[in-house]
């Protein structure tokens, strides 16, 4: 019976979303008294700050005694930058813990068993999918050891990314550009191939909305980068990865603390990551136009990529299609 906790978990998930994306997951917690009334709320405000449970316990004060803690992530059992939540919950007299997603990390995971050993009733897996969606990239890094990879492409209906002259062409409209900036803002890094950096000279920053930090700009490839490129300006940090193997580049990014990377082209980078099966999500922007000639978005793929479509929407005059390569969803099973 987990249905009875759904509403409280939804409240905890809403709290989790208030937290910033950081190297830590976003976590929310509500404390319920015996009658089911919420007597405490808390969320994690980023690495180094108190965990959600500790914040909610502080909010509840004495009322935590004999209460139920509903939390989006299995309470940690480790001492990291802060103490173990298992201990804080036990010390506060919590008698039942309901959590959603298991903590996949080696250090912090296993809190449920610690709580059970201390006589606390534990219910796990409540609304686990909805809670995990708040931390898709973080969870992915913990499970696979590499960042969550989003591949974005803008093309005409006949699959072309430039006209026959091959120079930079605006393919999609203003609304799509805003969507791309939103994608950048949600990512820790934005990556292009060295060829695209030279030919298109993109700046790769978030410009039409406020961001706490600009994403790391990454240029990947062996081609030399002339001075004066916009991607090398001082508007955001830039990492140059002299490398063409996607797995090696992702390992470097992971070590740099990147949980989500947005691939913004060009065709060589897109093809290399798809062929290596290192793409987790596709964002395809389709402009209502046929060009008839010119390079296509992903030439020379080694194998077909079946995609499970998760979203189709109109965006200005363009069409946005989001999906997941099937081999990527299988990875998670």
Write the CB contacts of 267 (distance below 8 Å, at least 6 apart in sequence): 161, 295, 296, 297, 298, 299
We find the least distance from the C-beta atom of residue 139 to Zn ion, in angstroms, to be 16
Which residue of this chain has its Cβ atom nearest to ligand AOF in the complex?
80
Tell me how far apart the alpha carbons of residues 140 and 132 are, in angstroms, rounded to a whole number: 10
Omega before 266 cis (within 30°)? yes
- Decide if residue 196 touches ligand AOF (CB under 6 A): no
Q: Please, which residues have CB within 8 angstroms of residue 58's CB and are 6 or more apart in sequence?
A: 40, 42, 50
53 catalytic per annotation: yes
124 is a contact residue toward ligand AOF (CB under 6 A): no
Among Zn ion, ligand AOF, none, residue 32 binds (CB under 5-8 Å by kind): none
Catalytic residue among 53, 74, 127, 264: 53
CA distances from 83 to 51, 72, 219, 254 (A): 9, 18, 39, 26
Given a contact cutoff of 8 angstroms between Cβ atoms, the answer to whether 135 and 25 are in contact is yes
* C-beta closer to Zn ion: residue 47 or 130: 47
Which entry of ligand AOF, Zn ion, none binds 162, CB below 5 to 8 A by partner kind?
Answer: none
195 binds, among ligand AOF, Zn ion, none (CB under 5 to 8 A by kind): none
Maximum C-alpha span of the chain: 72
Among 47, 122, 256, 321, binds ligand AOF (CB under 6 A): 47
Question: What's the CA gap between 63 and 53, in Å, rounded?
Answer: 14
Q: Which does 262 bind (CB under 5 to 8 A by kind): Zn ion, ligand AOF, none?
A: none
Q: Which of 9, 94, 108, 253 binds ligand AOF (CB under 6 A)?
A: 108
Rg over alpha carbons for the chain, rounded to the nearest Å, is 23
Task: Give me the sign of the Cα torsion angle 231, 237, 240, 246.
Answer: negative
- Tell me, by CB under 6 A, how many residues bind ligand AOF: 18
Which of 17, 65, 81, 314 is in the footprint of ligand AOF by CB under 6 A? 81
Residues that bind Zn ion (CB under 5 A): 51, 76, 85
For the CB of residue 310, give the shortest distance to Zn ion in the complex, in Å. 31
On whether the CB atoms of residues 269 and 193 are closer than 8 A, the answer is yes
Q: Is 82 in the site for ligand AOF (CB under 6 A)?
A: yes
Q: Which residues contact 182 (CB under 8 A, 6 or more apart)?
A: 209
Between 85 and 218, CB nearer to Zn ion: 85
Q: Which of 31, 39, 53, 149 binds ligand AOF (CB under 6 A)?
A: 53
CB closer to Zn ion out of 67 and 194 = 67
**Alpha helix (H) ranges present in the chain?**
6-16, 52-60, 85-91, 111-117, 128-132, 136-144, 174-185, 194-199, 246-255, 267-275, 326-331
Q: Per CB under 6 A, which region of 102-110, 114-122, 242-250, 304-312 contacts ligand AOF?
A: 102-110
- Find the shortest distance in angstroms from Cβ 76 to ligand AOF: 4
Nearer to ligand AOF, 52 or 285 (CB): 52
Give the footprint of ligand AOF on residues 4-43 (CB under 6 A).
24-25, 27
Residues that bind ligand AOF (CB under 6 A): 24-25, 27, 44, 47, 51-53, 73, 75-76, 80-82, 85, 103, 105, 108
Q: Catalytic residue positions?
A: 53
């Amino acid at each position: 019976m987990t249905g009875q906790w759904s509403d409280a978990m939804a409240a905890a998930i809403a709290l989790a979303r208030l937290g910033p994306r950081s190297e830590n997951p976003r976590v929310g917690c509500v404390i319920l008294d015996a009658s089911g009334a919420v007597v405490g709320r808390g969320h994690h405000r980023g690495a180094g700050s108190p965990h959600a449970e500790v914040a909610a316990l502080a909010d509840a004060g004495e009322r935590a005694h004999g209460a139920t803690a509903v939390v989006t992530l299995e309470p940690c059992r480790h001492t990291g930058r802060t103490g173990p939540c298992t201990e804080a919950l036990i010390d506060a007299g919590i008698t039942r813990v309901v959590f959603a997603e298991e903590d996949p990390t080696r250090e912090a995971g296993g809190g449920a068993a610690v709580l059970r050993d201390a006589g606390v009733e534990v219910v796990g897996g409540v609304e686990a999918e909805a809670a995990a969606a708040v931390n898709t990239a973080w969870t992915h890094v913990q499970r696979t050891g590499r960042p969550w990879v989003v591949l974005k492409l803008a093309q005409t209906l006949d699959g072309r990314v430039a006209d026959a002259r091959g120079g930079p062409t605006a393919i999609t409209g203003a609304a799509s550009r805003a969507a791309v900036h939103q994608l950048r803002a949600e990512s820790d890094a934005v990556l292009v191939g060295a060829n695209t950096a030279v030919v298109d000279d993109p700046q790769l920053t978030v410009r039409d909305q406020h961001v706490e930090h600009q994403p790391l700009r990454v240029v990947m490839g062996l081609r030399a980068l002339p001075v004066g490129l916009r991607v090398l300006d001082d508007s955001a940090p830039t990492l140059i990865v002299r490398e063409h193997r996607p797995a090696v580049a992702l390992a470097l990014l992971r070590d740099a603390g990147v949980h989500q990377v947005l691939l913004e082209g060009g065709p060589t980078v897109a093809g290399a990551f798809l062929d290596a099966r290192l793409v987790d999500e596709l964002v395809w922007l389709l402009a209502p136009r046929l060009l008839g000639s010119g390079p296509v978005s992903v030439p020379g793929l080694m194998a077909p990529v079946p995609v499970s479509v998760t979203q189709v929407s109109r965006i200005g005059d363009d069409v946005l299609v989001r999906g997941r390569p099937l081999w990527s969803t299988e990875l998670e099973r």
